[in-house]
Amino acid sequence: MKKISLFTLLIIIVANAFGQKKLIERYFSNKTDSSRKASFMPLPVIRYTQEVGIEFGLGALFSTYLDKDDLTNRSSNFSSIVSISTKGQYNLTIKSDIWTKRNKYHYVAETRFKKMPFDFYGIGNQTLEANKDRLVQGFVEIVLEAEKMLMRHSYTGISLDFENYHFEDKVIGGLFSTDQSLIHKIGGSVLYTGVSQSYDTRNSNNYTTKGFMGRLTYQYAPDLYGGENFTGSLIKLNLRNFWPLSRKFVLGVNGLFHTIQGENTPFYLLPQLGNDEIMRGYYTGRYRGKNLLAAQTELRYRYNSRFGLVAFAGGGQVFDNKDFAIKGFKPSYGGGGRYFFDPEKGLSVRVDYGIGEKRPNEKRQTGFYISLAEAF
């Protein structure tokens, strides 16, 4: 019996050692898997942004190629996240991003349920820290998109987007309750139908090292709900280009323009400057207006298949119609690190620190971010 126990213990130790070795190789080895096999990654969610604080939760990412033999076929990713944060956010997100064989069709479906406290600063490009007003937002969104390649690298698509908002004011007598120009203060719903046109020559949809992507979308919200609900158009233009400078260095540039035009436009539909993807360093919603124009450049250094560094800089502003001014641009710059948990597909966790402007009598605006996937 003693021999059997010792033998059993030896098997457990050896199995545990091999298990740890596989775990280490899976997450830290510099080797890449060229078999293009599917991967399933259960992920603990640990993210940070200045808007929601530290976010904890559970997530899962399934990534596969629908055509393993075609080296140009982009990875299809399916993800889900359930999380809470130290600032009271509750979040459930389910998303699929599918590329069919020969990348002929591209489908996106996303459902989000979120309850999030946030700070409201007012409307415009010059809002003040002193006017900060605490709100709680309830948010539901369902997005469906389908694109077809009609010409090489060129995709034409349609979309359907439903959004519902609900707000609760935590500071009675603050800016939110006293600003008479704001409508839909308790929230509302909007349904967009849209079309899109894109041209995409990127070599990867996860970690791009060369190629161009340009996408123009037009969405229209008809008068479905009556009353003072929003009716109008939302236009988005997103441009990206990447140049390989050497085997380890890549230079990327990204520019975007968003505009919303129509009747009874509520504050919560206005484009917002600042997030973990562009204009890093600014609190999302600190500045919001009918138009948003921003651009950034990012120098990427991939030390090996697992780790990398970036430096970024850019500028942007929000503005009302006919109020655009060169002096209105705000700076954004900083740097960060990258860990690639799936090196072959270019799937990464990123840590960024962004720095923004310093307004008179206010601290310089900054932001720290821990997120999945590249900024652009």
Q: What is the 3-state secondary structure (H, E, C) of 207-266?
A: CCCCEEEEEEEEEEECCCCCCCCCEEEEEEEEEEEEEECCCCEEEEEEEEEEEEEEECCC
Task: Judge whether residue 2 has pLDDT over 50.
Answer: no
Task: Judge whether residue 224 has pLDDT over 90.
Answer: no
Question: Contact 369/355 with Cβ under 8 angstroms?
Answer: no
State the CATH number of the domain containing residue 134.
Answer: 2.40.160.50
Question: Contact 73/101 with Cβ under 8 angstroms?
Answer: yes
Looking at residue 16, what is its pLDDT? 53
Structure tokens that stand for 206 in this block: 């996860």
Non-local (6+) Cβ contacts of 121 within 8 A are 127, 128, 129, 131, 132, 133, 175, 283, 285, 286, 287
Q: Residues 131-146: what's their mean pLDDT? A: 96
List pLDDT tens digits, range 337-351.
Answer: 999 989 988 999 999
Average pLDDT for the chain: 90
Looking at residue 133, what is its pLDDT? 94
Question: Contact 244/238 with Cβ under 8 angstroms?
Answer: no
303 CB neighbour count, 10 Å cutoff: 12
Least Cα distance to 370 among 276, 278, 306 occurs for: 276
Q: 7 lies in a domain?
A: no
Half-sphere CA count of 246, side-chain side, radius 13 A: 7
What is the Cα–Cα distance from 367 to 229, expressed in whole angstroms? 34
Q: 14 lies in a domain?
A: no
**pLDDT winner (highest mean) among 174-178, 215-219, 221-225, 261-265:** 215-219
Looking at residue 27, what is its pLDDT? 55
Half-sphere CA count of 341, side-chain side, radius 13 A: 18
Q: 349 lies in a domain?
A: yes
Q: 10 lies in a domain?
A: no
Q: 6 lies in a domain?
A: no
Task: Judge whether residue 316 has pLDDT over 90.
Answer: yes
Task: Judge whether residue 19 has pLDDT over 60.
Answer: no
State the amino acid at position 68 in one-letter form: K
229 vs 142: which has the higher pLDDT? 142
Task: Judge whether residue 50 has pLDDT over 90.
Answer: no
Looking at residue 88, what is its pLDDT? 86
Looking at residue 24, what is its pLDDT? 54
Q: Residues 343-368: what's their mean pLDDT? A: 94
Looking at residue 227, what is its pLDDT? 74
Tell me how many degrees the CA angle 342-98-351 measures, rounded to the nearest 5. 40
> 7-16, 149-158, 185-194: which has the minimum mean pLDDT?
7-16
Q: 9 lies in a domain?
A: no
Task: Judge whether residue 108 has pLDDT over 80.
Answer: yes
Range(s) of the domain holding residue 50: 39-372
Looking at the chain, which runs of residues are DSSP E strands? 39-49, 53-64, 76-85, 90-99, 105-120, 133-151, 154-169, 187-200, 211-221, 231-244, 249-263, 272-273, 287-288, 291-302, 307-319, 330-342, 347-355, 366-372
Task: Judge whether residue 228 has pLDDT over 80.
Answer: no
What is the Cα–Cα distance from 162 to 155, expressed in whole angstroms? 23
Least Cα distance to 268 among 79, 72, 123 occurs for: 123
What is the Cα–Cα distance from 208 to 210, expressed in whole angstroms? 6
Q: 17 lies in a domain?
A: no
What is the Cα–Cα distance from 362 to 266, expressed in whole angstroms? 28
Q: Residues 199-203: what's their mean pLDDT? A: 96
Q: Residues 79-101: what's their mean pLDDT? A: 93
Looking at residue 90, what is its pLDDT? 93
Looking at residue 353, what is its pLDDT? 96
pTM: 0.86
Confidence of residue 301 (pLDDT cuts 50, 70, 90): very high
Task: Judge whether residue 44 has pLDDT over 80.
Answer: no
Q: What's the structural domain count of the chain?
A: 1
Q: 74 lies in a domain?
A: yes
Residue with tokens 């929003």: 230
Residue 33's alpha-carbon distances to 74, 343, 344, in angstroms, are: 16, 8, 6
Q: What percent of the chain has pLDDT over 90?
A: 75
Q: What is the 3-state secondary structure (H, E, C) of 279-295?
A: CCCCCCCCEECCEEEEE
